[in-house]
């Protein structure tokens, strides 16, 4: 079992290092194949571990080696496979393997082919460290590792200015949040004396509530950065600068869910402070509807899908905040499948349309890209939450949780968001695949993606469909660790009204979207229509002017401050001090050089001066030696 754990953990690392050997060479297909195979190995290992955990209900806990022992602090490199982490492992390895195979086709003509796979496998390794670690320090290592690999992958086309800027923005925002997380970790260590999960959580009920609230808040700040909750959300939309497989893996299925994982892992903590949980849930709900509104009008298909991710993350946090941790984890799992599927399909579309992103310039692509159309439609249906696909079982469950606990505001907002989700998802589908052909006149000649790419993506599609059916067995095994609150609405009338009402609402939104965007009067908007001039449109398409606000009021003053510190403090004070020390020595040398003038008269003068100096020294020392006793007396009187 330990061997399986190490295999699952280190296979991606081996793949990454192997691909890194070829980093500077032109594309070699071998790197893609080897890394995908190694990820497949990791997937197999994770599956076996899953079966083991389900069947025996036991953990697999190893301590690989000690990392830090300093005084009372003891931090090992330890890994644990329990129900939570094995779920995450499955999700991560499955989506990663699919994405790797897909990327062999997607990055076909890219010069940085080998480098891409190295970064991608390194990312998977960091994510595995994150989810498999058994203490907060290991979690943090993985946390930073995924941040780094995400930076490398978003800025993969580093010659593009916008890509490097987006990568920096993502990394810096994550770092800001990591400060909060570090403070949380410090507080945990300070108060409980250990960073191991089970020991820390065992010690927590004995702490004061105020301390626990602070720990909870700070840890959640870290989760806010990673999972792009408001106000640290702007990086997620800009992260679409990276290649589409990156968006599929990182910004749909794995990195952004790390925040949710953290909250779920710390469920024992958050169970003790329900007020913080309520705050988390409210923030999550706010983000859900906030992101959904921004996706309504956006003209970039990847950005729409990114906002959709943001919205669904809000759902997950809402569930976690309300105490339904297993529901949050389940939605995380289902969401990973259909969102990755959606991204990969969008990647196909982009590839076909030579990286064009505006759906208004597409249209009637369903005729040439049947496979992609089917996949994306499936994913969108799952996302909308239509029975019997996966989304229904996870999203609607969250709605039920909100309703049962009596948080009607949260329930209403989430319901509304579900409608909006359906609308914007199918807006995109309609604009791309149906309606009039707008792309041929603009000079695009689309073609379907490689067959193997479509085949690689099929497992995701299958899972998106059937994941709902796994809910029962999932519940069985995960609640061995997580609190097992069953959410039953007692009155079946209310239950059925709710369920059917939700479905009808969602289906109505879908039909509305189809009608609006499949009609023949859809044109490429050029800024003149009444809709584009309206206030709400402008507000939404500029993302509520939040990026503008950050740029004007945060980035610019900070840059000014940095320039002041650089020019005034660093150059004028620090450098000047160091330089002046050197200058003193240099000028002393220059001036004393004149002593050797070659002029005998001057040198004779110097000789006499030197003579006087030495003679006075001789006299002084002679006198001191003669009267040394009295001198010692005086010195001892002074206390030397």
Return residues touching other proteins (CB under 8 A).
593-601, 604-605, 608-609, 611-612, 615-616, 618-619, 622, 626
Q: How far is the CB of 167 from other proteins (least distance, A)?
A: 59
Provide the CB-side half-sphere exposure for 239 (13 A, CA): 36
Q: Which is nearer to other proteins, 409 or 618 (CB)?
A: 618
Q: Which is nearer to other proteins, 531 or 614 (CB)?
A: 614
Q: Which is nearer to other proteins, 66 or 596 (CB)?
A: 596
Residue 75 belongs to what H/E stretch? strand 73-81
The encoded tokens of residue 367 equal 């005729």
Specify burial of residue 550 (Cβ count, 10 A radius: 0-12, 13-18, 19+).
Answer: middle
Q: Which is nearer to other proteins, 17 or 614 (CB)?
A: 614
Q: Which residue has the tokens 């010069």?
A: 111
**336 and 251 Cβ atoms separated by less than 8 Å:** no
Q: How far is the CB of 586 from other proteins (least distance, A)?
A: 16
What counts of helices (H) and strands (E) characterise the chain?
28, 2
Q: How far is the CB of 629 from other proteins (least distance, A)?
A: 16
Q: How far apart are the C-alpha atoms of 38 and 121, rounded to whole Å?
A: 9
Q: Which is nearer to other proteins, 455 or 612 (CB)?
A: 612
The encoded tokens of residue 455 equal 């085949």
Q: Which is nearer to other proteins, 491 or 599 (CB)?
A: 599
Q: How far is the CB of 608 from other proteins (least distance, A)?
A: 5
For the chain, what percentages of helix, strand and coil (3-state, to nearest 5) are there? Answer: 80, 5, 20
Residues paired with residue 73 on neighbouring β-strands, in sequence order: 70
Q: How far apart are the C-alpha atoms of 624 and 284, rounded to whole Å?
A: 85
**254 and 91 Cβ atoms separated by less than 8 Å:** yes
Q: Which is nearer to other proteins, 556 or 626 (CB)?
A: 626
Q: Minimal CA–CA distance to 392: which of 494, 308, 502?
A: 502
Q: How far apart are the C-alpha atoms of 418 and 428, rounded to whole Å?
A: 16
Q: How far is the CB of 621 from other proteins (least distance, A)?
A: 11
Q: Which is nearer to other proteins, 179 or 609 (CB)?
A: 609
Q: How far is the CB of 585 from other proteins (least distance, A)?
A: 18
Provide the CB-side half-sphere exposure for 263 (13 A, CA): 40
Sign of CA dihedral 576, 582, 584, 587: negative
Provide the CB-side half-sphere exposure for 614 (13 A, CA): 6
Q: Which is nearer to other proteins, 534 or 602 (CB)?
A: 602
Which residues lie closer than 8 Å to 208 by C-beta, 6 or more apart?
Answer: none
Q: Which is nearer to other proteins, 109 or 593 (CB)?
A: 593
Cα 42–Cα 44–Cα 48 angle in degrees, nearest 5: 115
Give the ranges where 365-491 is alpha helix by DSSP (H): 370-384, 390-404, 408-433, 451-466, 471-478
Q: How far apart are the C-alpha atoms of 363 and 370, rounded to whole Å?
A: 13
Q: How far is the CB of 588 from other proteins (least distance, A)?
A: 15
CB atoms within 10 A of CB 142: 20
Q: Which is nearer to other proteins, 206 or 595 (CB)?
A: 595
Q: How far is the CB of 627 from other proteins (least distance, A)?
A: 12
**246 and 204 Cβ atoms separated by less than 8 Å:** no
Q: How far is the CB of 610 from other proteins (least distance, A)?
A: 10
Q: Which is nearer to other proteins, 70 or 595 (CB)?
A: 595
Specify burial of residue 507 (Cβ count, 10 A radius: 0-12, 13-18, 19+).
Answer: middle
Q: How far is the CB of 597 from other proteins (least distance, A)?
A: 6
Q: Which is nearer to other proteins, 562 or 596 (CB)?
A: 596
Q: How far apart are the C-alpha atoms of 256 and 146, rounded to whole Å?
A: 10
Q: How far is CA 533 from CA 210, 304, 525, in A?
A: 49, 21, 11
Which residues lie closer than 8 Å to 603 by C-beta, 6 or more apart?
Answer: 595, 596, 597
Q: Which is nearer to other proteins, 564 or 609 (CB)?
A: 609
Q: Which is nearer to other proteins, 58 or 596 (CB)?
A: 596
User: Count of residues for the chain?
Assistant: 640
Which residues lie closer than 8 Å to 452 by C-beta, 6 or more apart?
Answer: 101, 104, 105
Q: How far is the CB of 583 from other proteins (least distance, A)?
A: 21
Give backbone dihedrals phi and psi of 69, rounded to 5 degrees, phi first.
-130, 110
Q: Which is nearer to other proteins, 608 or 631 (CB)?
A: 608
Q: How far is the CB of 632 from other proteins (least distance, A)?
A: 20
Q: How far is the CB of 607 from other proteins (least distance, A)?
A: 9
Q: How far apart are the C-alpha atoms of 600 and 300, rounded to whole Å?
A: 87
Q: How far is the CB of 572 from other proteins (least distance, A)?
A: 36
**502 and 414 Cβ atoms separated by less than 8 Å:** no
User: Beta-strand (E) ranges in 224-272?
Assistant: none
The encoded tokens of residue 239 equal 């992260």
Q: How far is the CB of 557 from other proteins (least distance, A)?
A: 56
What is the distance, to the nearest Å, from the Cα of residue 427 to the centroid of all Cα atoms in its chain?
Answer: 27
Q: How far is the CB of 593 from other proteins (least distance, A)?
A: 6
């Amino acid at each position: 079992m330990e061997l399986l754990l190490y295999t699952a953990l280190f296979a991606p690392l081996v793949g990454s290092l192997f691909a890194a050997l070829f980093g500077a060479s032109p594309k070699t297909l071998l790197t893609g194949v080897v890394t995908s195979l190694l990820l497949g190995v990791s997937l197999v290992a994770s599956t076996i571990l899953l079966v083991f955990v389900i069947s025996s209900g036991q953990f697999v806990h190893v301590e690989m080696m000690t990392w830090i022992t300093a005084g009372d602090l003891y931090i090992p490199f330890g890994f644990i496979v329990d129900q939570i982490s094995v779920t995450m492992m499955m999700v991560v390895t499955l989506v990663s393997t699919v994405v790797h195979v897909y990327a062999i086709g997607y990055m076909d003509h890219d010069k940085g082919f080998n480098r891409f796979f190295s970064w991608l496998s390194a990312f998977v390794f960091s994510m595995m460290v994150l989810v498999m670690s058994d203490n907060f320090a290991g979690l943090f290592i993985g946390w930073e590792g995924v941040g780094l690999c995400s930076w490398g992958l978003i800025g993969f086309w580093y010659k593009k200015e916008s890509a490097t800027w987006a990568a920096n923005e993502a990394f810096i925002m994550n770092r800001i949040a990591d400060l909060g997380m570090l403070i949380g970790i410090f507080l945990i260590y300070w108060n409980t004396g250990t960073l191991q999960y089970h020991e820390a959580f065992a010690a927590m009920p004995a702490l004061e509530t105020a301390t626990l609230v602070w720990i909870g808040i700070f840890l959640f700040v870290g989760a806010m950065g990673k999972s792009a909750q408001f106000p640290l959300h702007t990086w997620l939309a800009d992260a679409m600068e990276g290649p589409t497989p990156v968006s599929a893996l990182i910004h749909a299925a794995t990195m952004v869910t790390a925040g949710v994982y953290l909250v779920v892992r710390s469920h024992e903590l958050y169970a003790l402070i329900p007020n913080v949980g309520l705050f988390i849930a409210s923030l999550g709900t706010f983000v859900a509807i906030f992101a959904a509104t921004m996706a309504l009008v956006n003209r970039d298909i990847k950005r729409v899908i990114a906002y959709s991710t943001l919205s669904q993350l809000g759902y997950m946090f809402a569930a976690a905040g309300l105490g339904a941790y297993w529901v949050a984890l389940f939605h995380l799992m289902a969401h990973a499948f259909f969102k990755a599927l959606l991204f990969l399909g969008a990647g196909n579309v982009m590839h076909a349309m030579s990286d064009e992103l505006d759906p208004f310039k597409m249209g009637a692509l369903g005729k040439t890209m049947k496979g992609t159309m089917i996949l994306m439609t499936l994913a969108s249906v799952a996302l909308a939450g239509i029975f019997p696909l996966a989304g229904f079982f996870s999203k609607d469950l969250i709605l039920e949780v909100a309703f049962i606990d009596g948080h009607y505001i949260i329930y209403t907002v989430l319901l509304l968001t579900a409608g909006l989700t359906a609308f914007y998802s199918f807006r995109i589908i309609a604009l791309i695949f149906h309606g009039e052909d707008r792309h041929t006149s603009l000079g695009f000649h689309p073609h379907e993606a490689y067959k193997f790419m479509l085949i690689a993506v099929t497992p995701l599609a299958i899972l998106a469909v059937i994941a709902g059916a796994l809910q029962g067995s999932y519940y069985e095994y995960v609640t061995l660790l997580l609190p097992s609150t069953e959410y039953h609405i007692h009155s079946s009338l209310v239950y059925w009204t709710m369920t059917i009402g939700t479905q009808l609402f969602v289906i109505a939104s879908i039909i509305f979207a189809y009608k609006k965007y499949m009609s023949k009067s859809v044109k490429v908007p050029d800024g003149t229509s009444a809709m584009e001039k309206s206030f709400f449109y402008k507000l939404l398409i500029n993302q509520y002017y939040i990026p503008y606000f950050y740029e004007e009021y945060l980035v610019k003053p900070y840059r000014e401050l940095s320039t002041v510190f650089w020019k005034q403090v660093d150059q004028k004070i620090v450098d000047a001090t160091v330089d002046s020390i050197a200058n003193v020595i240099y000028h002393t040398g220059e001036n004393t050089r004149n002593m050797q003038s070659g002029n005998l008269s001057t040198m004779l003068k110097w000789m006499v001066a030197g003579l006087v100096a030495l003679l006075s020294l001789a006299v002084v020392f002679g006198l001191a030696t003669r009267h040394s006793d009295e001198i010692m007396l005086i010195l001892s009187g002074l206390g030397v």
